[in-house]
Structure 1
Amino acid sequence: MSPAPEAPALPGPALLFCPADRPDRYAKAAARADAVILDLEDAVAPDAKDAARRAVQEAWPGLDPDRTVLRVNPRQSPWWEEDAAAAARLGVRWVMLPKAEDPAAVRALAPARVIALCETAAGVLAAPALAAEPGCAALTWGAEDLMADLGGAGSRRSRDGAPHDVVLHARSSVLLAAAAHRTAAIDTVFLDIADLEGLAAESAEAAESGFTAKMCIHPGHAGPIRAAFRPSEEELRWARGVTAAAAEAGSGVFRFEGRMIDAPLLGQARAILRRAGE
């Protein structure tokens, strides 16, 4: 099998889901976010799968392929083969693979770049193998599907609303697997549509931890995600100063604003500049 072709950078940081059976919303979703995820899976009822796939195929010539992700149905589902065939026929560049567990499914979607969605226990444990696939562009994860797979009652504790430890473990596992294989990590959706303060806090923590983007289910969440992923002016000032001082120092440890800067801190400064597109 030939390797995936060169592709543009993964769009982000705000990736907005849109039901694939609602073509009237495609353009609106794309206008609000950095990329739109046309969802053939959870957002579409079983009896509407074929119609949703046809809607995507009819609309595809008018969509921006660099900013459109197609979420197909899982390989374990009866709609997999037709979804994968449609993605290949249309030349879809970004495909989201739900219930990702087997690296062979990533290879089956070539030459598309695959965002592997780890949302089962097997998927989280397979994250390193998925990220190691040349066709894997990013890893992401899903809390609610994971808890359903575990037999849990919800992703957050009833007593205080904080995520369960196993949810945080899954999130960290996916982030570490992506980083270990030098691929992107995308954070999951924030389900409380009205809680913009909570969304902003979770998005900022995701950006600071190393996630490159965050998915969302409501257009009103795209703006707060973008703002949270954008470094502050103080962060940018520090990062620019550190990288400039590093260039002047040449190599080794150096001093900047009273602090000793070594390779890890220089790496953090460069990560801040990447988040700002510099």
Structure 2
Amino acid sequence: MQDFSMGPAILFCPADRPDRYAKALERADAVIIDLEDAVAADNKQAARQALLENPLDPERTIVRVNPVGTPDFAADIAAIEQTKYRTIMLAKTETLDDLATVADFNVVALCETALGVLNAGQIASSRNVVALMWGAEDLVASLGGASSRHESGGYRDVALHARSQVLLAAGAYRKVAIDSVYINIPDHEGLLAESIDAQASGFGAKASIHPGQMPVIRQAFSPSAEQVERATRILATAEVSAGVFTFEGQMVDEPLLRHARAILARHRISGIA
């Protein structure tokens, strides 16, 4: 299975709106063509046909399929097998058995139910899982709740717990973690704050539902010039220092060196994008 290198700004696009496919890919670093929640039940087959007739770059495309055990799952997989797409997002991933049904694909496992979040570690350990994402609203719905966020916009504790659980599971098995969508589309300030927190916490990408959110997410995941300059100087100092050293009043050890390397790696990626 391949490593996951899509992102950091990933955009959902309804599979039954092929007129949006190319535009979405122009705006985003990667696109999730959605055969699940974004498509009404009576339009699923038309969405699969649109997927077949409007190919995108498979290196920058993920296809979200319906959950294992639903009537549309087998039809989704049958359609994707006729394309060059080999990275899928498995909605409501819950068990290793779910992942065994898509063993021939690179899987972004979407943990968005109570069982899926509890099993995030097992899911992350699966050979064909290349990334994990968590979903707030479906998770809270699976618990019988009404909303994942407070009126202020911040997540409720149970959602924050799930977010952390999925991030830790991904990190434990060296898989990429993708942060959930920010549904208040006009609130770019809130999106920026949440995206900055996602990057700082260790998420490798953030999913989104509107092309206007792409620049905000990229801004959050791209290090500033000051961060790049400081990281460069820290690593240069490390080359002529033995062990732990002091840099501008701060003790620098291996964890801080890893942070500096990560900043430069993100800078290189943003430059390529």
Interval of TM-score (by shorter of Structure 1 and Structure 2): over 0.9
CA–CA separation in structure 1 for the residues paired with 2:131 and 2:92? 14
Q: What residue is the counterpart of 1:75 in the other structure?
A: 68
Q: Which runs of 5+ in 2 are unaligned?
A: none
Q: What residue is the counterpart of 1:169 in the other structure?
A: 161
CA–CA separation in structure 2 for the residues paired with 1:271 and 1:120? 31
Offset at 1:9? 4.2
Cα-to-partner distance string for 1:21-63 (whole Å, 9 max, x where unaligned): 0111100000010011100000001111111011101112xx1
Q: What residue is the counterpart of 1:275 in the other structure?
A: 266
Offset at 1:92? 1.5
Q: What residue is the counterpart of 1:227 in the other structure?
A: 219
The answer to whether structure 1 residue 88 and structure 2 residue 88 are counterparts is: no
The answer to whether structure 1 residue 27 and structure 2 residue 22 are counterparts is: yes
Q: What residue is the counterpart of 1:42 in the other structure?
A: 37
Q: What residue is the counterpart of 2:203 in the other structure?
A: 211
Residue range with higher mean Cα deviation, 189-198 or 79-88: 79-88
**Identity rate of aligned residues, in percent?**
55
CA–CA separation in structure 2 for the residues paired with 1:87 and 1:18? 16
Q: What residue is the counterpart of 1:156 in the other structure?
A: 149
- Do the aligned partners of residues 89 and 104 (structure 1) sit closer, same or farther apart at CA in structure 2, a change above 3 Å counting? farther
Q: What one-letter code is carried by the residue in structure 1 that aligns with 2:163?
A: R
Q: Equivalences for 1:231-246 in 2 at 5 Å?
A: 231-246=223-238
Q: What one-letter code is carried by the residue in structure 1 that aligns with 2:261?
A: R
**Secondary structure in 2 aligned to 1:153?**
coil
Offset at 1:241? 1.4
The count of aligned residue pairs is 269
Q: Is the Cα contact below 8 Å between 2:3 and 2:130 reproduced in 1?
A: no
Q: What one-letter code is carried by the residue in structure 2 that aligns with 1:157?
A: H
**Secondary structure in 2 aligned to 1:276?**
helix
Offset at 1:8? 5.9
CA–CA separation in structure 2 for the residues paired with 1:264 and 1:129? 27
Q: Is the Cα contact below 8 Å between 1:88 and 1:112 reproduced in 2?
A: no
**Secondary structure in 2 aligned to 1:185?**
strand
Q: What one-letter code is carried by the residue in structure 2 that aligns with 1:33?
A: A
Q: Is the Cα contact below 8 Å between 1:35 and 1:67 reproduced in 2?
A: yes
Offset at 1:107? 3.1
**Secondary structure in 2 aligned to 1:90?**
coil
Q: Equivalences for 1:76-225 in 2 at 5 Å?
A: 76-158=69-151, 160-225=152-217
**Secondary structure in 2 aligned to 1:255?**
strand
CA–CA separation in structure 2 for the residues paired with 1:9 and 1:166? 28
Cα-to-partner distance string for 1:68-110 (whole Å, 9 max, x where unaligned): 1100111031111111222233232210011010123223223
Offset at 1:111? 2.7
Offset at 1:192? 0.3
Q: Is the Cα contact below 8 Å between 2:134 and 2:180 reproduced in 1?
A: yes
**Secondary structure in 1 aligned to 2:220?**
helix
Q: Is the Cα contact below 8 Å between 1:10 and 1:137 reproduced in 2?
A: no
Q: What one-letter code is carried by the residue in structure 1 that aligns with 2:48?
A: R
Q: What one-letter code is carried by the residue in structure 2 that aligns with 1:238?
A: R
Q: What residue is the counterpart of 1:14 in the other structure?
A: 9
Q: Which runs of 5+ in 1 are unaligned?
A: none
Q: Is the Cα contact below 8 Å between 1:127 and 1:177 reproduced in 2?
A: yes
Cα-to-partner distance string for 1:176-197 (whole Å, 9 max, x where unaligned): 0000011100000000011011
CA–CA separation in structure 1 for the residues paired with 2:217 and 2:244? 35
